[in-house]
Chain A
């Protein structure tokens, strides 16, 4: 195991507001790293720093360094190539207004893959990985936006997987879908752990406990503490961590 993603004194501001305050942590290769914390604690901003979509928010300012495999992401000359290495799934499912097939093939096509057979294989593989294949295999040419919320979220996951990313970030992926689908996706993630590092932002502390190797607790833009899942739940250093993780916060 080696360090995959490293945050070094990272501070993010939106105008005057501090969104992340002096974050330091390391995420190991091929583990599930979970980030928990109340709303507005900076979890989504954390993910945006990893693939530099933070740059697209014009008021944002980032200090400190985020590195992936020892390489400072701000020094990367081709930010698009960086983003292709990182799959992202956001809380609200977004099916693009095109067919299910085109949704999954979107990323690979942008990278110049035009071979029909290769695309077919890829689409099937990704949809299978995201346990959507059986439900849509007979209607791949239906609009992605017409699927149900849970299906769209799995479609989003399939799209994120289509680039064979080395890091997969999920931001409260289960917020808009039912518990059964959630369990299905959790199983998928456990399988994917063999191939990629997974950063799982969640507000379900039990989900973090089930899935994660390490847990970090964010509160009010600060990293309160982070460590092995077992220790964080059973024997945290700070009292507030224990209270939040065990469900009696505030």
Chain B
């Protein structure tokens, strides 16, 4: 270096930081990009759906059970999506009935009862469970769970609401476990110690101290589980039977053995058959709007709940 012996003081005074302006701009733009993408998603989905807004019969869309997008010769198509809305609703409810107890139980076991080494192993296994892609769950539902349900319950078709719900439940459980475990861990140890000092057993601590204290976190966990169930596509498509169907009697538990059709599966299944710009195509984007709205609301609300917990602890 020619300026090798210049004093350090002189060097320091000269060095300017203008050189980092470009990287700073790049970082800022990338930082804002998420907002841009969320905006773009809303924009493009509305853009594709918009032409159908004026002449879609909204009452029919939400409250009629008549989904005939490709009618027989000479008939008008009709887009009554109530059966499909029911399908998504039913899969969500049934899968949460399965996933919540399992997820909560596993979370409580991992955070309160398991010895440290087993805790590590369980967490790793549950992480693997979370990594299994939804197409694999769909495949398992189709070729393994279906025949299993057929055989055990003696029904004709094993591809039904129950099957899809089990698959969705297994997909939602890792999420529920990790959020619930975070919520339980966020309860200060002093609560546990105080209860122990009063002679409470560990189980009493769980349901009298931890559950009430972690209430919001558990709520957020179940909401995110619901979000996952509503948005799940491949497993639901392949394991639900994909048949528009509303049961006559909602109080008959056997309705879980009927086939259903979900919002996500409708888009996935019918999109390839549509012509770009056709009414059917646009109505599928309307379904996209419904899904988008539900999922954004669920995620933002549960995120607020989780942030609230972090602030408290």
Contacts and interface: CB of A to CB of B under 8 A. Distances in A.
Tell whether A and B belong to one assembly. Answer: yes
Interface of A: 78, 80-81, 84-85, 108, 111-115, 118, 122, 162-164, 166
B15 A112 contact: yes
Interface in B1-58: 1, 4-5, 7-9, 11-17
A108 B6 CA distance: 12
A163 B4 contact: no
Nearest to A78: B16
A69 B1 CA distance: 31
A80 to B, nearest CB: 5
B15 A80 contact: yes
Contacts of B5: 118
Nearest to A164: B8
Contacts of B9: 85, 163-164, 166
Given A78-B17, A80-B17, A163 B1 contact: no
30 contacts: A78-B15, A78-B16, A78-B17, A80-B17, A81-B13, A81-B15, A81-B16, A84-B12, A84-B15, A85-B9, A85-B12, A85-B13, A108-B8, A111-B12, A112-B11, A112-B15, A113-B1, A113-B8, A113-B11, A114-B1, A115-B1, A118-B1, A118-B5, A122-B8, A162-B8, A163-B9, A164-B7, A164-B8, A164-B9, A166-B9
Interface residues of B, number: 13
Contacts of B16: 78, 81
Contacts of A113: 1, 8, 11
Given A81-B13, A118-B1, 11 more contacts: A78-B17, A81-B15, A84-B15, A108-B8, A111-B15, A112-B15, A115-B1, A115-B4, A163-B9, A163-B12, A164-B7
A118 B1 CA distance: 10
A111 B17 contact: no
A80 B16 CA distance: 8
Contacts of B13: 81, 84-85
A81 B12 contact: yes
Contacts of A108: 8
Most buried by A among B12, B16, B17: B12
Interface string B95-129: 00000000000000000000000000000000000
Nearest to A108: B8
A83 to B, nearest CB: 9
A114 B8 CA distance: 12
**Nearest 10 interchain pairs by C-beta:** A84-B12, A164-B8, A111-B11, A81-B13, A115-B1, A111-B12, A80-B17, A115-B4, A164-B9, A111-B15
Given A114-B1, A115-B1, A163 B14 contact: no
Nearest to A81: B13
A163 B7 CA distance: 10
A122 B12 CA distance: 15
Contacts of B15: 78, 80-81, 84, 111-112
Nearest to B9: A164
Contacts of A85: 9, 12-13
